[in-house]
């Protein structure tokens, strides 16, 4: 190609709008692609106080109006947002004289707009499937879930290639949508270790004292307080951990299970041992991960497990469920401890193993940090993604569409 490769990414969330893992993924990937010579335009939803157009480290970000139409429910809002997103993105592409080589969609929430753009401009579409409805809900039970599942299936059908963040997700997505194996590509998620390095030199003792007494170990959970994240498994493991170790459990995140979990903890008489922080900003989270004596990821369904990577980047020893993407990130007793999913006894065993053996915890920490730097750095991930783009463009150039 004589001119630089140009990609338009569509995502419903992008900082400062952060709902889940897609936002940091697109943010880091787009910036790293820009460093690797790819021109990236990100089209996303507006957010109060965020500019409509800005350039972040070479990435052009456009935030489109997604709120103004009153919607009776989330599904309707998603549909209307897609209508707007396609219209605004099409105008942007026309302004560039059609010089966009590839459209890259992140999850079902932008499927309609992305597929529309693919056909209007006759350019290849790539989809990254960060998760699936069938996985999140452990099956399809209602029409609303069926609508999301069918939208995901449509997106994977229309995409030239489907990127998944773990080997587990590749086989899961292939099974869920009946896709041919050669349509799927595994490119892992990543983590930026630099911000954790900045925290390292700070004195965190006064920060730590807000959460735990000096003689209490900190057990950290970070995630949405929903069933598939396994936070209830951790709550049920707390009494068993406390039999052996004096610890404080810090639970970061929000979700529909919060009240129920709080009630269980009060019933057990352990309210003084558990802190629910709600949602915290990035800086507070990094400091907590730095202070944590162990970070726990007890998910039941986990496409990748970015929280585990972040903890590893913060040099906090990890205990994770042996499931999904977590199984691939963590090597048992080398970069972390794996436990049986949905098993409070096993989880309590893993936590106490780390908390009662400081030498082993140190060994896990060092190995995990090294693994993150070598395998999960964004520069490497951007190069792998760029390779996918170039492969697709080669195939596209030989097709009747070109």
Say what the pTM is.
Answer: 0.87
Q: How is residue 371 annotated by DSSP?
A: H
Q: Could you report the per-residue pLDDT of 338-395, keeping only the tens digit for each?
A: 999 999 999 999 999 999 999 999 999 999 999 999 999 999 999 999 999 999 999 9
Does residue 187 surpass a pLDDT of 80? Answer: yes
CA distance 229 to 231: 6
Closest CA to 295 of 317, 278, 275: 317
Q: Could you report the per-residue pLDDT of 253-267, keeping only the tens digit for each?
A: 999 999 999 999 999
Beta-sheet pairing, 125-128 with 53-56: unpaired
For residue 213, the Cα-to-chain-centroid distance in whole angstroms is: 32
Is pLDDT larger for residue 246 or for residue 20?
A: 246
Q: Could you report the per-residue pLDDT of 197-216, keeping only the tens digit for each?
A: 888 667 788 999 999 999 99
Residue 1: per-residue pLDDT: 45
For residue 169, the Cα-to-chain-centroid distance in whole angstroms is: 13
Delineate the domains of the chain, giving CATH numbers in brackets. 6-190+377-397 (3.40.50.2000), 194-375 (3.40.50.2000)
Mean pLDDT value of segment 239-257: 96
Residue 105 near residue 159 (C-beta atoms within 8 A): yes
Q: How is residue 259 annotated by DSSP?
A: H
CA distance 294 to 138: 28
Rg (CA), the chain: 22
Tokens representing residue 319 in the block:
């205990």
CA distance 270 to 55: 48
Residue 230 near residue 298 (C-beta atoms within 8 A): yes
Does residue 75 surpass a pLDDT of 60? Answer: yes
3-state secondary structure 287-328: HHHHHCCEEEECCCCCCCCHHHHHHHHCCCCEEEECCHHHHH
Mean pLDDT value of segment 94-114: 95
CA distance 236 to 98: 56
Mean pLDDT of the chain: 94
- How many CA atoms, within 13 angstroms, populate the side-chain half-sphere of residue 158? 25
């Amino acid at each position: 190609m004589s001119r630089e490769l140009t990609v338009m990414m569509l995502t419903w969330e992008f900082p400062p709008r952060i709902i889940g893992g897609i936002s940091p993924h697109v943010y880091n990937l787009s910036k790293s692609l820009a460093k690797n010579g790819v021109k990236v335009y990100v089209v996303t939803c507006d957010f109060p106080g965020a500019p409509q157009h800005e350039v972040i480290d070479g990435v052009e970000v456009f935030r489109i109006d997604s709120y103004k139409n009153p919607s009776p429910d989330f599904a309707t809002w998603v549909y209307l947002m897609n209508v707007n997103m396609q219209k605004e993105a099409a105008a942007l592409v026309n302004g560039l004289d059609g010089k966009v080589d590839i459209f890259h969609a992140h999850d079902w929430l932008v499927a309609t707009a992305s597929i529309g753009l693919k056909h209007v401009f006759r350019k290849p579409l790539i989809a990254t499937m960060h998760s699936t409805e069938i996985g999140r809900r452990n099956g399809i039970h209602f029409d609303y879930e069926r609508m999301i599942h069918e939208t995901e299936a449509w997106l994977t059908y229309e995409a030239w290639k489907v990127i998944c963040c773990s080997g587990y997700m590749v086989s899961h997505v292939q099974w869920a949508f009946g896709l041919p194996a050669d349509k799927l590509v595994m490119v892992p998620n990543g983590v930026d270790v630099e911000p954790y390095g900045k925290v390292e030199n700070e004195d965190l003792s006064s920060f730590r004292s807000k959460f735990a007494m000096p003689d209490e170990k900190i057990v950290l959970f970070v995630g949405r307080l929903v069933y598939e994240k396994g936070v209830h498994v951790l709550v049920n493991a707390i009494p068993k951990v406390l039999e052996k170790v004096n610890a404080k459990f810090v639970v970061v995140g929000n979700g529909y299970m919060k009240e129920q979990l709080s009630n269980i903890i009060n019933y057990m008489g352990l309210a003084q041992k558990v802190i629910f922080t709600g949602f915290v900003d990035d800086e507070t989270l990094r400091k907590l991960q730095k202070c944590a004596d162990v970070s726990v990821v007890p998910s039941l369904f986990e496409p990748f497990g970015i929280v585990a990577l972040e903890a590893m980047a913060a040099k906090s020893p990890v205990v994770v469920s042996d499931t999904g993407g977590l199984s691939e990130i963590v090597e048992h007793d080398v970069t972390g401890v794996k436990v049986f999913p949905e098993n409070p006894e096993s989880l309590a065993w893993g936590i106490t193993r780390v908390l009662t053996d400081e030498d082993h915890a140190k060994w896990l920490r060092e190995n995990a940090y090294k693994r993150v730097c070598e395998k999960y750095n964004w520069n490497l991930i951007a190069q792998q993604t760029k390779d996918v783009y170039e492969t697709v463009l080669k195939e596209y150039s030989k097709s009747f569409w070109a």
